[in-house]
Structure 1
Amino acid sequence: MALRLTLLASSRSSSVLDVRFGDSRSLDAAGWHEVQAAGPKLSHLAAAELRYCSPSVRCRETAHSLGLAPLAQPALRDCDMGRWNGYTLREVAAREPQAVQGWLADPRSAPHGGESMVNFIQRIGGWLDTRPANDGSWMVAVTEPAVMRAAVCYVLKAPPQAYWHIDAQPLAVVTLSGRAGEWSLSLES
């Protein structure tokens, strides 16, 4: 048997048009409603032996709302966007259009002074690969949607550009199984 890790994307803290880099706001009204409505469907996650979450407010609130009592993991924080933190993509693109184009085109670039996409994916993969290798154990982590996307890239050994083609909606669930360097992905229904 292999280790099983279920990733749950946090509920929302803003509308799609107001998503900000490094956003650590509390869940908004729609986010609270979504997590309460999904509670019965996600209640089985509380049976996991280990429960983690990204350190952001919205991830902690999502996890606590589901009764998970998670341990916050600094390694599961969102991508460090440097001086772009707190701004929307639209705001940054209006101020620094060439920097945004370069960032979207080259996963090794970090024009914002933070973390490149390659480094972000490697950080998340490093966290995955250091999970305790107890065969048959099950862990749950409530993460930022970006963390879920990075994990999927890492597990599938996809090129970093694939990150932009993965959509992690609020409360999306994906389960990974395996051990360091040998992961498989299962899609939940």
Structure 2
Amino acid sequence: MHVRVTLIAAARGSSLLAERFDDDRPLDQAGWGEVQRVAHALIPLAAAELRYCSPTPRSRATGDALGLAPLAQPALRDCDMGRWRGMTLGEAMAREPEAVDAWLADPYSAAHGGEPLAEFIQRIGGWLDTRPADDGGRIVAVAEPAVVRAALVYALKSHPSTYWNFDVRPLSTATLIGWAGRWNLRFDAQTERV
């Protein structure tokens, strides 16, 4: 028994330099344009038996624009960034440079007063491991890029510090096939999205 989980990174809600921790902003004009450019390749994912999204406005809007009609999953929320919520990385660095350095260097640090990166990865992995394994069942989830990175670290059983080595672009996909505790990363041809 196995399940196939395709993760789609939500389209942009702001430029890369303007991204904020725990950002609740909706898709911006560039994000809508990105969805329109790639929708033809991602719309077939709507055939998945189960369709989920992070509870953020841009994840929901991305899923809706792709015709997924996804169900918001609180477990797929972004990492709780504590007192840095709403700040850019630059703003947090200007206010608390030592705390930012500690957070970037140690995945078990909660220097911001929120959720340590290692716990965030485990939370996302817990969601992944509780997906129903219906031999060959398909699931699609639109989530923040941070959530996709966390899922990849968990599925590959990597050290939490490798989280920083995954560059997840808006509307990129990653497919995990397996079941609780045993996941494989699958790369599909551009034409084979379902």
TM-score between both structures, scaled by the size of structure 1: 0.99
Deviation of residue 43 (structure 1)?
A: 1.1
* Matches of 2:119 and 2:63, distance apart in 1: 26
* 1:124 matches 2:124: yes
* Matches of 1:43 and 1:19, distance apart in 2: 26
AA aligned opposite 1:39: A
Deviation of residue 37 (structure 1)?
A: 1.1
* Matches of 1:113 and 1:63, distance apart in 2: 31
The aligned counterpart of 2:48 is: 48
Unaligned runs of 5+ in 1: none
Identical pairs, percent: 62
Q: Contact conserved, 1:11 with 1:62, CA < 8 A, in 2?
A: yes
* 1:155 matches 2:155: yes
Deviation of residue 16 (structure 1)?
A: 0.6
* 1:111 matches 2:111: yes
Deviation of residue 89 (structure 1)?
A: 0.3
The aligned counterpart of 2:8 is: 8
RMSD (CA atoms): 0.7
AA aligned opposite 1:163: Y
SS at match of 1:46: helix
AA aligned opposite 1:43: I
Deviation of residue 187 (structure 1)?
A: 2.3
Deviations 1:140-184 (A, max 9, x none): 000000000000000100001100010000001000000000000
AA aligned opposite 1:46: A
SS at match of 1:118: helix
The aligned counterpart of 2:31 is: 31
Deviations 1:34-84 (A, max 9, x none): 001111111111100000000000000000000000000000000000110
Q: Detail structure 1 runs of 4+ shifted over 6 Å in the superposition.
A: none
TM-score between both structures, scaled by the size of structure 2: 0.96
* Matches of 1:187 and 1:124, distance apart in 2: 21
AA aligned opposite 2:71: L
AA aligned opposite 1:138: R
The aligned counterpart of 1:22 is: 22
Unaligned runs of 5+ in 2: none
AA aligned opposite 1:185: L
* Matches of 1:22 and 1:187, distance apart in 2: 29
